[in-house]
Amino acid sequence: MDTWMLSALPDAPARVLDAGCGAGALAAALIARGHDVTAIDLDPSAARAAGVPAREADLTVYEDDPFDVIVLSLSLHHMHPLEAALDRTAALLRPGGRLVVDEFAWDWADAAAATWFYDVGRLLGRFDRPEPDPLARWRAAHVDHSPAGDMLDAVAARFEVVRMRRVPYLFRYLGGEHAARLKEIEEVRHQPTGFRLTAVTRVTGVTNGT
Ligand SMILES: C[S@@+](CC[C@H](N)C(=O)[O-])C[C@H]1O[C@@H](n2cnc3c(N)ncnc32)[C@H](O)[C@@H]1O
């Protein structure tokens, strides 16, 4: 868990939903910090293999008791329908509860970023041939993922966004031992392809009509 995620979370113990937990690394870190974590995924097998008691569940239809915090870490762009995922997120958060989103903004990558991504990926052995049209390949690879603007609009329609910043992301995708150096280069050379935000449930005032 990095410093941003730490700063985005309340002190333990909080009741936390990690929706789309994947291999369970974040859920395991949250449990280790003393949070009461429910981890869900369409396919919880990788998380379970890592020792996280993840449930097989689809956030778009998930029902449970209210949570203090819901974390969507690199999962929201995969969730369809996007609106249903965020409707359930809003319904599952207690009043005043916190939404933490760490996301990939694939559609913010331009031709220069896509070219850099495939060139560096090839150097790292991730891709085996030069890419003649990097941006076309990039777009084709991500066409079934929600664009960042749709995610941000759908969050803002349901929550008060407290903090939002655009961040580099490609270095995380490329990973490996050079990730820290790649992050420095990406920050200087390319526009952000990720965003991180915290938001809270809207507090709706009750009026008596007078
Ligand atoms: C890229 S992985 C992210 C995993 C992890 N949260 C992380 O930060 O590395 C996205 C995960 O979201 C899950 N997912 C996609 N749609 C989902 C849905 N509707 N409900 C629950 N999980 C979903 C996928 O199965 C996948 O494991």
Would the CB of 146 count as within 6 Å of ligand 1?
no
Mutate to test the pocket of ligand 1, among 16, 17, 41, 103 (most ligand atoms within 8 A of CB): 41
> Do residues 196 and 4 lie in contact, with contact meaning Cβ atoms separated by under 8 Å?
yes
Buried b / exposed e over 1-26, threshold 16 CB at 10 Å, is eeeebeebbeeeebbbbbbbbbbbbb
pLDDT of residue 202: 79
* Ligand 1 atom with least separation from CA of 18: 6
pLDDT of residue 50: 97
CA distances to 122, 124, 130 from 99, in Å: 36, 35, 40
Whether residue 40 is predicted with pLDDT greater than 50 in this model: the reply is yes
Would the CB of 41 count as within 6 Å of ligand 1?
yes
Residue in 25, 36, 32, 34 with CA at minimum distance from that of residue 66:
36
> Do residues 56 and 44 lie in contact, with contact meaning Cβ atoms separated by under 8 Å?
yes
Whether residue 208 is predicted with pLDDT greater than 70 in this model: the reply is no
The rounded distance, in Å, linking the Cα atoms of 24 and 26 is: 6
Whether residue 161 is predicted with pLDDT greater than 90 in this model: the reply is yes
- Domains belonging to the chain, first-starting first, are 3-108+145-176+192-201 (3.40.50.150)
Would the CB of 89 count as within 6 Å of ligand 1?
no
Q: Ligand 1: distance of its center to the CA of 75 in Å?
A: 4
pTM of the model: 0.94
Q: What is the tens place of the pLDDT at every residue in 51-79?
A: 999 999 999 999 999 999 999 999 999 99
Residue in 55, 58, 9, 49 with CA at minimum distance from that of residue 29:
9
pLDDT of residue 210: 42
